[in-house]
Structure 1
Amino acid sequence: MSRINMEDIIMWQSNNGKTLCPECFEKKFESEYPIEWTPIISNGEFEILYECDDCGERSAN
């Protein structure tokens, strides 16, 4: 499995549908990343809008 560059992550999404921006994710979990969260990485191919459920920040993939 390849390593993910943390700067490329635009949002985190849980397996129950909650979405967090990288800043809110870091505040909530600090150094222990739970397995049920998946990073969303910008690839520039699709135009999907994500919104952080905590702070409301929006980011497009």
Structure 2
Amino acid sequence: MLRWAVAFLVIALIAAFFGFSGIATTAAEIARILFFIFIVLFILVLIFGQPRPPK
């Protein structure tokens, strides 16, 4: 999912460079949403994904 966020970020930067404001805005918004989803999932895996110590 992080790859998708980076891909949309690159698309947004390229579109912004060429002046396509609608495409750049949409791609940047998608990249931001995917990035925050990735961060939330990452934190959940850090919290709940660790193995428990043996008894």
Output the TM-score relative to the length of structure 2: 0.25
Pick the structure with more strand per residue. 1
Output the TM-score relative to the length of structure 1: 0.24
Pick the structure with more helix per residue. 2
